[in-house]
Every structure is written in structure tokens, then in C-alpha cells.
Amino acid sequence: MPARVPVVLLSGGLGSGKTTLLNHLLERGVGRIGVVVNDFGDVAVAAFLVQGQVDATATISGGCLCCLSDPSELDDILASLAAPALDLDVIVVEASGLAEPRELARMILSSGVRAIRFGGVVEVLDAAAWAQADPQGPLPVATDHLQVASVLVVNKIDRLEGHPEATRRLDEAIARHAPHTPVVRTTFGRIDPSLLFDAAERETPTGQLSFADLLRETAGEHGDAHGHGHAHGHGHGHDAHHGHAHESCTSVSVDSPLGTSPRQLVDVLENRSPGVYRVKGRTWFDAPGHRVQYVVQAVGGWLAFERRPWPAGTTRGTQIVAVGTDMDDAAVEATLRSCLTDEPVPADHLHAVIRLTR
């Protein structure tokens, strides 16, 4: 059975930097990315701003995705982009600045397209808007947008320099409305792609220079599109010109032949440690009829298991990876390992997993 393609919703206010973040993901040349661009007007202006190496794209114009009179239009697009022939690693839906992320997330979660799965809501916050906002006025973002986000990207973070009151107000809003949501603070939409999706290993044709490689080579010689002359770091590295690692993320892995306690595993996944954005992997439960492979995917407030047979020649075991920002890696690993067990699982403990299994 092919893996389901994650659908990541990219949300944020007008001018917050959604397209800049998307362009950054494309320019990095990591994985195969499909893009759905939504413009509120009849002309898909944003589609022309998306640069880089797009492996598949679709545009919906004339209204917000969350207001579509026929939601099957989005399903049809997602089904076409998730086709095995395209071999995509992720589908990014860039919503219009007027869209409601909660409604869009509901549409993706309720989609009848079996080849996709929910990949989370990335809410882009415009730090410049916070710097310019009236301290006594309303917040520059709807609190529901903070609450539904799987990860918060505070973009244009440099614009908060010299604005301690605005910084305090932003931090307090996040602490109040999204206390457990991972936060990435960055400029120019730089975010580590591995935080959002996994890129499959593929053979690269010898001697070919991809468009993404060309962009990076050009940026190295002449400076990037913003004229700052820096190269984007990756993984745990940092930008030598800026001296910070806003885009970096870390991962914690657990690999064991043991199975897990379903009740404890679900509890850990539903109450993830601070900074953990997503958890992925597979496990098994020592109970009759449940020693098959359970593939687990968790992101934001969404969690699901999928039953699959163990591939031929595979040794039964548990392999789980947690990905996030500013995690306490040792604590996260200890929490995941606490779910391992060599004890038979009581039948009534399986209910927690069965209700989440697709």
C-alpha cells in the first residue's frame, strides 16, 4: 500500500509571507512538492508569484476555498495531485489571506480521497503587523487562527527589534491561545522542510542541474531574491551571515523490537511534549489479532493509526520519530520509550487505538 500524501495547509493574513515561505520550500529543492494556490479574486495573482521547482500545481480562483459551493472541487484537485504517477512527497495548499484555516482543515480532514492525509496547519504570523499594531487595539490575528494552528511561523521577526511591548504582546497571545504549539521565528519564510514533510530518497540523474540547484548556485554568487547575499542553511545548521538558526528543527527516534501499550501511546500522542510538531512511525500490540503493523501519524491535534501487514522479511518492532522545534530531546525520547512494553495487552486497552484506526 502506498503511503498517503500529507496535505499541509499554509494559512496567514494578507502580506504575512505565505508565498515567500512556499517559495523557500520550493527553492530548497527538497522532495517533490505539489501546490494548490487559492486566490480570492478571479485572476490567480499568487500563482504567478510561486517560483522554484513545482512538481505539480493547481489553482482555484474566484473565492476562498472555505467558501466553495462545491467542496468536491478541492477533492478532485487533491485526488489528481495524489496520483501515484506524480510521486509527490507533500501537497501544500496556500490559502488566500481571507480564508478560515479551521474550515479548510475540516475540509481536508473530511476528504474522501483515500490517497491523502492531513499534514497540519502552518499559520504564518506577520511580525511587522504586530510591531505596527495599536497596543490597546485588537490582536493582529484572530485567536481562532492561533488555536487551530499545528505550527506557528512568526515571519519578519527582525521587524520586532526595538518593539519590546509588541514582542511581549505577541508572546503573551501565543502563551494564552496556543501554549503547546511549536513556534518557528524566522525572516523571509525560512523554515526547515523536514519539519513539515519527509522527502523520499530518489536517484538523481548524473550530470543534471535542477532548477532548484540553479537557484541556490545563483543565490550564492549574486545574493538571494531579497538582496541579502546569504545561503539558506539546512537541518541543524545556521546562517553564517545572520547568526541564527530560525529554520532548524530536531528529531528524536525510538527503535525497539518491543510493542507498545496502546492506552499509554495514545495518551502520549494526544498530549505531546512542548515543541513536538509531528510524530510518525509504526508499532504493534501484543494481543490476538493486533500483532500486525500499525502505522501512526500525528500532527497538531490530529492523530490516526492505519493497520497494515508487516512487509515480507520485516522484523516486528516499534520505530517512532518525533519532529519539532525547541524540544527537550531527552524528555521526548524518555516519554516515547515509556510506551514500550513486553507485557501482553489487555483487550480493553485496545479501544483507544481502534477508535483512531483507519
Are 189 and 259 members of one domain?
Answer: no
188 neighbors 124 (Cβ within 8 angstroms): no
pLDDT digits (tens, 9 = 90+) for 96-131: 777 788 988 998 998 989 999 999 999 999 999 999
Task: Spell out the SS3 assignment of 96-156.
Answer: CCCCCHHHHHHHHHCCCCCCEEEEEEEEEEEHHHHHHCCCCCCCCCCHHHHHHCCEEEEEC
What's the rounded Cα separation, in Å, for the pair 50 and 53?
9
Stretch 146-175: mean pLDDT: 95
Number of structural domains (the chain) is 2
Asked if residue 210 has pLDDT above 90, the reply is no
pLDDT digits (tens, 9 = 90+) for 258-293: 999 999 999 999 999 889 999 999 999 999 988 999
Note whether residue 95 is domain-resident: yes
Note whether residue 107 is domain-resident: yes
Q: Which of 170, 195, 220 is the last residue of a domain?
A: 195
Residue 340, domain extent: 250-354
Indicate which CATH number applies to the domain containing 309.
3.30.1220.10
Q: Which of 131, 163, 195 is the last residue of a domain?
A: 195
Are 37 and 183 members of one domain?
Answer: yes
